[in-house]
Each structure stands twice: as C-alpha cells, then as structure tokens.
C-alpha cells in the first residue's frame, strides 16, 4: 500500500480567513480554526501510513504586509492550535514567492511589492514543489510513490493535487 500524503491549505481551510493577512498582528492575535476541521483531521489521522501537512501560498512578505518571520511564526501557531486538539500536522510547507503576474496585479492597484519575493517558483501552488518536498520529508519517497491529495478553498488547491498526479478536493470556505 502506498503512503498517503494529504496537503491542506491554511487560510479558509484550516483557519478562518477574514480577508486580512493572518499573522500581521502576531503575536497579538490568534487563529480561529474552521468549523469541523478538528473532527475532519481526527478522521484523516486514522488512515494507515498517512501524513497530513499544511501547504500554503503566503504573499504577505511580497506585499509588505508581514515579514517572513511573522509568517513562519503564525504557521507554527496554527499547528500548535491543532496539536492542542490532538491533530497536529506532520509538516508545514509555505511559499512566499509570488509570481510576477500576481505582483503586477497589485502594483497596478498601487500596492507596495517587495521584489525580493517576486519570482516564478516551483513551490507556488498550483505548482507541486511543496508536495514533492513533503513526500521526501515524510516518507523518503517521490510523489509517484505516494497517493496524493490536496484540499483547499481556492481553485489552485485541488489543481495542485491534480498536477502532482493525485486528487484535488475543493471545499467551500465559510471563512
């Protein structure tokens, strides 16, 4: 039986997304877990040979909204909340490198962009770089040697799973 790698998006999937940059007020804020996420993760954790991981695009550093350190600390905080519920994730995989086309949209609207973080990156979803790293880290295997799933509330989330040769699961976000 192949190992099962399940990537789960952060904002709007694991935690509520109010449109602000989660972590921008860190440590004076906390994440709110999405309804039923703990119950869902408990079910998934019962699968044999499974790794549950966070896979998230985080443009906050590129847009000057948060630092990379704040982003990493907030990701760890989300996992700490999950650990307190007995459903901590095996890994956190985050990409802060926004593609040039993404950045152009915000520059046209007058937003600040830190060009340090603007580049085409194999980790930015729907690319599969973060899932490839997770398969190596969690199982010492390639994506082809795993059953891969990617869950999230944006079209790029299930697309990432499909691009990885696996399945994509789209959820409608309430947050």
The answer for 100, left when phi > 0, alpha when psi is -120 to 50, beta otherwise, is alpha
pLDDT value of position 119: 94
Residue 39 has a CB neighbour count (10 Å cut-off) of 10
Closest residue by Cα to residue 7 from 48, 52, 58: 52
Q: Using DSSP, state whether 41 is helix, strand or coil.
A: helix
Q: Indicate the DSSP class of residue 34.
A: P
| Gap between the Cα atoms of 149 and 92, Å rounded | 15
pLDDT value of position 47: 97
Percent helix, percent strand, percent coil in the chain, to nearest 5: 35, 20, 45
pLDDT value of position 110: 82
Residue 35 backbone dihedrals phi, psi, to 5 degrees: -55, 140
Q: Indicate the DSSP class of residue 97.
A: -
Residues of the chain with pLDDT under 50: 175
Q: Indicate the DSSP class of residue 118.
A: B
Q: In 60-157, which ranges are E strands?
A: 91-95, 147-152
Q: What is the pLDDT of residues 114-134, one digit of tens each?
A: 999 999 999 999 999 999 999
pTM above 0.85, yes or no: yes
Share of the chain above pLDDT 90, in %: 74
Q: Using DSSP, state whether 17 is helix, strand or coil.
A: coil
Closest residue by Cα to residue 151 from 14, 4, 2, 1: 14
């Amino acid at each position: 039986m192949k190992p099962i790698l399940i990537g789960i998006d952060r904002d709007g999937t694991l935690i509520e997304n109010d449109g602000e940059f989660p972590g921008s007020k860190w440590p004076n804020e906390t994440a709110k877990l999405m309804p039923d996420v703990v119950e869902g993760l408990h079910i998934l954790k019962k699968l044999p040979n499974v790794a549950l991981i966070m896979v998230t695009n985080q443009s906050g550093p590129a847009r000057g909204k948060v630092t990379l350190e704040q982003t990493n600390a907030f990701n760890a905080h989300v996992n700490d909340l999950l650990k307190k519920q007995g459903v901590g994730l095996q890994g956190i995989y985050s990409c802060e490198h926004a593609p040039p086309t993404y950045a152009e949209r915000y520059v046209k609207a007058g937003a600040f962009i830190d060009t340090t973080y603007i580049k085409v990156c194999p980790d930015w979803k729907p690319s599969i770089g973060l899932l490839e790293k997770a398969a190596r880290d969690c199982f010492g295997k390639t994506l082809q040697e795993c059953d891969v799933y990617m869950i999230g509330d944006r079209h790029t989330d299930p697309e990432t799973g499909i691009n990885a040769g696996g399945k994509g699961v789209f959820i409608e976000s309430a947050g």
